[in-house]
């Protein structure tokens, strides 16, 4: 393994957000939906990320991605934000070979674990990004290019004074909507009721979306959404789960 490859995974940990400076040169503090956890980054995860970044990794860039060039086909592209360790994302990519998946995660051990699983399973229709998803949406995703956006168990930021850090906000949804094709879906899931209510409120306020729920609120967990790692933990703790599934008009 070359030295520059050795450094890639560790470098990524430090570059998940682009630094913006104020006019007088000071660091511009932004409200982010994540804190960078210092969880264990195993040698295996690091090596898988270093050795297979060329096949699976996409780097942040200040220009739009060309999905056809990336995947070599015109298949629908589904974007998942915050895939954690990537188990459910890899399962979905395997179950839907006629779709392309892009997963975004800032937690490098998760990125390494996801790549490792994708390599093990021989997945071809998946790319991963290690960067703040809001910046990726703003800079890299062309307007009206996605067939779906999925966000499973985003950090709930329980305390009221932290609610501003929740990724689902009206401005976030407007940004997401601009990236979706007509008929594309938005699929959110959470195990935190108060966040589910907030998600529903934000989604319902968006006139460009229609709710697929028969009861005009939540849907039962669809079979096509595999259980996620975080959700399995929630089940053990006796948490409920709320799925929200809207489509763009």
Ligand X SMILES: C[S@@+](CC[C@H](N)C(=O)[O-])C[C@H]1O[C@@H](n2cnc3c(N)ncnc32)[C@H](O)[C@@H]1O
247 annotated among ligand-binding-site residues? no
Nearest approach, Cβ of 143 to ligand X (angstroms)? 20
Q: Which residues contact 30 (CB under 8 A, 6 or more apart)?
A: 17, 20
CA dist., res. 248 & res. 184, Å (int): 5
Coil vs helix vs strand at 248: strand
Q: How far is the CB of 74 from ligand X (least distance, A)?
A: 26
The verdict on whether residue 155 carries a ligand-binding annotation is yes
Closest to ligand X by CB, 91 vs 105, is 105
Distance from the Cα of residue 171 to its chain's centroid: 17
Q: Which residues are catalytic?
A: 155
Backbone angles phi, psi at 138, to 5 degrees: -65, -40
DSSP state of 187: E
Please identify, using beta-carbon distances, which residue of 159 and 207 lies nearer to ligand X: 159
Going by C-alpha positions, the residue among 181, 35, 178 that lies closest to residue 99 is: 181
CB 81 within 8 A of CB 151: yes
Comparison of 15 and 210: residue with beta carbon closer to ligand X:
15
Q: How far is the CB of 231 from ligand X (least distance, A)?
A: 5
191 vs 243: CA distance, rounded Å:
9
10 is in an annotated binding site: no
H or E element at residue 211: strand 209-211
For residues 33 and 100, which CB has a smaller minimum distance to ligand X in the complex?
33
In whole angstroms, the minimum distance from the beta carbon of 169 to ligand X comes to 12
Which residues make up the interface to ligand X (CB under 6 A)? 33-34, 81-84, 104-107, 110, 132-134, 152-155, 167, 228-231
User: What letter would DSSP give residue 161?
Assistant: G
The answer on whether 105 is annotated among ligand-binding residues is: yes
Residue 191 annotated as binding?
A: yes
Q: Which residue is nearest to ligand X (CB)?
A: 82
Binding residue numbers for substrate: 159, 191, 228-231
Binding residue numbers for S-adenosyl-L-methionine: 80, 105, 132, 155
């Amino acid at each position: 393994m070359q030295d520059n490859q050795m450094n890639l995974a560790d470098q990524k940990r430090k570059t998940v957000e682009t630094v913006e400076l104020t006019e007088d040169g000071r660091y511009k503090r932004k409200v982010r939906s994540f804190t960078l956890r210092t969880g264990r980054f195993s040698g295996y995860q690091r090596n898988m990320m270093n050795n297979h970044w060329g096949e699976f990794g996409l780097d942040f860039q200040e220009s739009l991605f060309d999905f056809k060039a990336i995947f070599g086909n015109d298949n629908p592209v589904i974007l998942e934000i915050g895939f954690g360790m990537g188990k459910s994302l890899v399962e979905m990519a395997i179950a839907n070979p006629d779709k392309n998946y892009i997963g975004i995660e800032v937690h490098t051990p998760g990125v390494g674990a996801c790549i490792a699983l994708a390599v093990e399973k021989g997945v071809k229709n998946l790319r991963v990004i290690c960067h703040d998803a809001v910046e990726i949406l703003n800079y890299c995703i062309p307007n009206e290019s996605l067939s779906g956006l999925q966000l499973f168990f985003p950090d709930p930021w329980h305390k009221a004074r932290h609610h501003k850090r929740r990724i689902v906000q009206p401005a976030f949804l407007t940004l997401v909507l601009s990236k979706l094709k007509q008929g594309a879906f938005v699929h959110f899931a959470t195990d935190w009721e108060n966040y589910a209510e907030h998600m529903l409120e934000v989604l319902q306020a968006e006139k460009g979306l229609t709710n697929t729920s028969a009861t005009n609120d939540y849907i039962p967990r669809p079979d096509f959404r595999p259980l996620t790692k975080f959700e399995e933990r929630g089940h053990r703790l006796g948490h409920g789960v709320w799925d929200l599934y809207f489509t763009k008009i």
